Amino acid sequence: MKLYHLIFGTATAKSAPYYWVQHGHRETAVKSAIAIFDHHQKIEHGEWDKPWDIEMIDTVHDWLVETLIQGAYLREYHTWERDVKTYINDQRKWNAQTEADWRSGRKDMVSRVRVCLSDFDVTIDDRIMQAIDSMRERINRMKHEEGMLLETFVTTDDYFTAHRAIEQFWERLTEIETPIMSFSEVKSGR
């Protein structure tokens, strides 16, 4: 089986570049929101002069960034899960195969993705897959352990490191996809 990239894709025929671009849009949104928070903090510093006011301005800024990063981290991983399922199922359909069984056994999602990609003779660098799996593990701890402790909070650096791993995942698939103009090329064996 091959991974295909439909050059003139449609809303229902998405290949790796589509997911890579969407992933980039989310990064832009997070960076823009943080820039807005930073800008607002500077404006507020110029309007207030009491130490208590300044401390509250800085605390609210930190809360805003922290809340944004926690949610963006969760969204990034869960969006990757959803997108990779759709991507692999689409690729399997384009290769005249049935959809993947995403409920298979006790394997975690990252392991299932590795198995599904191996059907296409594709492997993704272990470093990338381990970084994505670390996200999965961290999110599960955040969701299932009692209370949110400060040591489980995701930092801005943690977010952008994890974001980069998912970006590299989609970049790698983009590099190895076979570009086609239409699915008639697949059927004719080109």
Residue 188, burial from CB neighbour count under 10 angstroms (0-12, 13-18, 19+): exposed
The tokens of 15 are what?
């290949």
Q: How much is the pTM?
A: 0.86
Q: Along the 190 residues of the chain, how does pLDDT read in single tens digits? A: 788 777 765 545 678 888 998 999 999 999 999 999 999 888 888 887 788 788 888 889 889 999 999 999 999 999 999 999 999 999 998 888 999 988 867 789 999 999 999 999 999 999 999 999 999 999 888 877 765 666 678 899 999 999 999 999 999 999 998 777 665 655 555 5
The tokens of 64 are what?
């805003």
What does DSSP assign to residue 182?
A: S
Which CB contacts under 8 angstroms, 24+ apart, belong to 177-183? 177/3, 177/4, 177/5, 177/15, 177/16, 177/17, 178/2, 178/3, 178/4, 178/5, 179/4, 179/5, 179/7, 180/4, 180/5, 180/6, 180/7, 181/6, 181/7, 181/8, 182/6, 182/8, 183/6, 183/94
